[in-house]
Chains A and B, each alone.
Chain A
Amino acid sequence: MKALVAVKRVIDYNVKIRVKADKTGVETANVKMSMNPFDEIAVEEALRLREAGIVSEIIAVSLGVAQCQETIRTALAMGADRGILVQTDAELQPLAVAKLLKAVILQENPEIVIIGKQAIDDDCNQTGQMLSALLGWPQATFASKLKISDGHAEVTREVDGGLETVSIKLPAVVTTDLRLNEPRYASLPNIMKAKKKPIAATTPEALGVDVTPRLTVLKVEEPPKRQGGHKVGSVGELVDKLKTEARVI
């Protein structure tokens, strides 16, 4: 079966973000960009399914500006077979991304779609659920274990109270949580090989999808700063302060 993974280009998780002075957003110029960490886990899971002989081909899709091609190359260097770039300079919100992915999926017919549970930039946590709704497919979000057999996926999900296991019919959308796997690093030979793997390009217009944002960002601000940094010298002093100064115990 074919697997499709969606990979988002985001500010690298190690970068300390800066809010722009005019409050229109977050500074992205001259900032290191990487693949969304949850999407790396998605790529890794697809690779493991291919290594187990369940998946035959892995397609990595990214949506956005031309540089998203680099994110696809990263997925190809990890081992994905080919890429598709849906190129646009327009702002893409999760509903639009889900519609674009649906259009790609209807052309490619994968039996499983694996994507990160959320992107670490907008923290929306929506795309996988929206995509499965638009396709009329089942969804298994926040996956920490994935087993595939007999046209079904058995997925262990990380939920607030612990773990939950569901069985979903394929085709389906699975979104990844942190403990699903530990993504591999791309080796140098594989990075070289990835340069020769094909990346097809398309656009929202060619896919017939209206990507007009539904949410208008009015402003982006820094959160209020915490005043910390006080030290106490002993356990006795700590308990004193908590009782008499902070009055929380």
Chain B
Amino acid sequence: MAALVVAEHDNAAVKPATLNAVAAAKEIAGHEVDILVAGKDCRAVGEAAAQIAGVRKVLLADDAAYDHGLAENVAPLVVKLAASYTHLLAPATTSGKNLMPRVAALLDVMQISDISAVVSPDTFVRPIYAGNALQTVQSKDPIKVITVRGTAFPPGEATGGSAVIEPVASTGAAGLSAFLGAELSKSERPELTSARIIISGGRGMQSGDNFHLLEKVADKLGAAVGASRAAVDAGFVPNDYQVGQTGKIVAPELYIAVGISGAIQHLAGMKDSKVIVAINKDEEAPIFQIADYGLVGDLFKILPELADELERRQ
């Protein structure tokens, strides 16, 4: 048995979600876990990946064709490498979700999406119906193509390993697609999917400007700032803030939901958090049913008070 993990990166650094996928790969294949770094001028990523604890080998595919991770170009590379592996894994991020089904179809196998537990090398647990049910599935395919729900696997150590780096030849560009540009949000705060604490705002925030009230609390806690779909749809904040079934799935130590009623689609994205706090003026809001600590009241009074209280007791 051997597993290949497709690393998520930006040609400069390995994204943390890769470490969760490596953790899942180790549960399946033990010491026989390799990492594929496909990108452009991504040697530094390859070197960082070689440091990840327990990784046997890093396959480095450095070519302009792989610059932005276009699935049309990267999938044939993964397919070419697949012969040496029983399992191909990637984080269930937007890039993993984009790439891996294309790989699976080219290999004529069914993908196992978004696994949350490994039962055995051919049997996995995955959430369905937005996490309202858990399905245990067994794959009969010779190669298992898998995406990994990051929050379900504690990340492996980013250092301590000393894998060999092996260059692999490019499979070239398919000529079907081109990258035109990106508008990526820049933030000094931690990323939502790896933050220890998250504070999210919903429709109750009333405007994008009011999010500065959340940011003040976030700064005191070193927290990431998120939002419900309602807040994103209302235009308060950009789409990459969204926590929920169709946004990001998170499971921090502490999740503070502010002005969020608790629609099923939001709960699907955060209900595995260790501790949940809800702040809402409607005491009937469904969010309170799953919150460890609920505080009923006006968020415009509570948030400044919370920021002051945290400041005072730091």
A93 vs B110: C-alpha distance when bound (angstroms): 8
Most buried by B among A168, A228, A239: A228
* Any A CB within 8 A of the CB of B86: no
**In the complex, A136 Cα to B139 Cα: how many Å?**
25
B154: min CB distance to chain A, Å: 17
Q: Verify B293–A242 contact, CB threshold 8 A.
A: yes
**Chain A residues with Cβ under 8 A from B277's Cβ?**
238, 242
Which B residues from 272 to 297 make CB contacts under 8 A with A?
274-277, 283, 288-296
A164 contacts the other chain (Cβ, under 8 Å)?
yes
Contact A229 B288 (CB under 8 A): yes
Q: Is the interface of A mostly helix, strand, loop or mixed?
A: mixed
Cα distance A105–B180 in the bound complex, in angstroms: 28
* Number of B positions contacting A (CB below 8 A): 90
Q: Which chain A residue shows the least CB distance to B288? A: A229
**CB <8 Å contact, B105 and A134:** yes
Q: Is A19 an interface residue (CB 8 A)?
A: yes
Task: Give residues of chain B (26-80) contacting chain A, Cβ–Cβ below 8 Å.
Answer: 68, 70-72, 75
B140 in the interface (beta carbon within 8 A): yes
| Residues in chain B near residue A172, CB distance under 8 A | 176
A17 to B130, CA, bound (A): 10
Is B271 interfacial (CB-CB < 8 Å)?
Answer: yes
Tell yes or no: B113 within 8 A of A by CB: yes
Are A120's CB and B130's CB within 8 A?
Answer: yes
Within 8 A of B (CB), among A151-177: 154, 157-169, 172, 177
Q: Cβ of B128 < 8 Å from any Cβ of A? A: yes
Interface residue B224 (Cβ < 8 Å from any Cβ of A): no
Chain A residues numbered 208-242 whose CB sits less than 8 Å from any CB in chain B: 213-223, 226, 228-232, 234-236, 238-239, 241-242
Does B130 contact A214, Cβ atoms closer than 8 Å?
no
Q: Which of B164-172, B181-189, B208-216 contacts A (4 or more CB under 8 A)?
A: B181-189
List residues of chain A with CB within 8 A of the CB of B106.
133
Interface centre among B93, B135, B254, B277 (most CB of A within 10 A): B135
How far is the CB of B115 from the nearest CB of chain A, in Å? 12
B233: chain A residues within 8 A (beta carbon)? 178-179
Q: For the complex, what is the distance from the CA of A215 to the CA of B176, rounded to whole Å?
A: 31
- Expressed in whole angstroms, the minimum distance between the Cβ of A38 and any Cβ of chain B is 8
B102 touches A133 (CB 8 A): yes
- Is A163's CB under 8 angstroms from B239's CB? yes
Contact A166-B104, Cβ < 8 Å, known A214-B141, A220-B133 = no
* Min CB–CB distance A123 → chain B (angstroms): 5
Number of interface residues of A (CB under 8 A): 77
CB of B197 within 8 A of chain A? yes
Q: Whose C-beta in chain B lies nearest to the C-beta of A159?
A: B94
Task: Decide if B158 is an interface residue (CB 8 Å cutoff).
Answer: no
- What residue in chain A is nearest B294 (Cβ atoms)? A231
B305 close to A (CB within 8 Å): yes
- Complex CA distance for A230 and B293, rounded to whole angstroms: 5
Judged by a CB distance under 8 angstroms, whether B246 is at the interface is yes
Contact B176 A138 (CB under 8 A): yes
In the complex, whether A185 has a CB less than 8 A from a CB of chain B is no
CB–CB B133/A159 < 8 A: no
Which residues does chain B contribute within 8 Å of A248, judged by CB atoms?
197, 253-254, 274-275
Q: Which one of B97, B233, B283, B295 has the highest number of Cβ atoms from chain A below 10 Å of its Cβ? A: B97
Assembly CA distance A121 to B97 (angstroms): 17
Cβ-neighbour of A220 out of B98, B134, B138 (below 8 A): B134
Which of B123, B133, B246 is the one whose CB lies under 8 Å from A19? B133
Q: Do A215 and B239 touch (CB < 8 A)?
A: no
| B299-314 Cβ-contact flags toward A at 8 Å (1 or 0) | 0001001100110010
Given A162-B184, A165-B182, A215-B112, is A242 in contact with B132 using a C-beta cutoff of 8 Å?
A: no
CA of A200 to CA of B283, assembled, Å? 52
- CB of B290 within 8 A of CB of A226, answer yes
B180 touches A246 (CB 8 A): no
| Cα of A220 to Cα of B127 in the assembled complex, Å | 9
Determine if B183 and A162 form an interchain contact, defined as CB atoms under 8 angstroms apart: yes
Given known contacts A123-B130, A167-B180, is B101 in contact with A94 (CB within 8 Å)? yes
Is A126 an interface position by the 8 A CB rule?
Answer: yes
B136 contacts the other chain (CB 8 A): yes
Q: Is B95 close to A, CB under 8 A?
A: yes
9 A–B contact pairs at CB < 8 A?
A: A123-B128, A124-B113, A133-B103, A159-B240, A160-B94, A162-B183, A169-B175, A218-B136, A242-B277
B interface, CB within 8 angstroms of A: 68, 70-72, 75, 93-95, 97-106, 108-114, 123, 126-141, 174-185, 193, 197, 221, 229, 232-233, 238-240, 245-246, 248, 253-254, 264, 271, 274-277, 283, 288-296, 302, 305-306, 309-310, 313
Sample of 19 more A-B contacts, CB < 8 Å, known A17-B133, A216-B140: A125-B97, A130-B111, A139-B177, A142-B94, A162-B240, A163-B238, A164-B183, A165-B182, A169-B175, A178-B229, A218-B137, A220-B128, A226-B276, A228-B288, A228-B292, A231-B288, A231-B294, A238-B295, A243-B313
Interface residues of A (CB under 8 A from B): 11, 16-17, 19, 26, 93-95, 98, 120-134, 137-142, 144, 154, 157-169, 172, 177-179, 213-223, 226, 228-232, 234-236, 238-239, 241-243, 246, 248-249
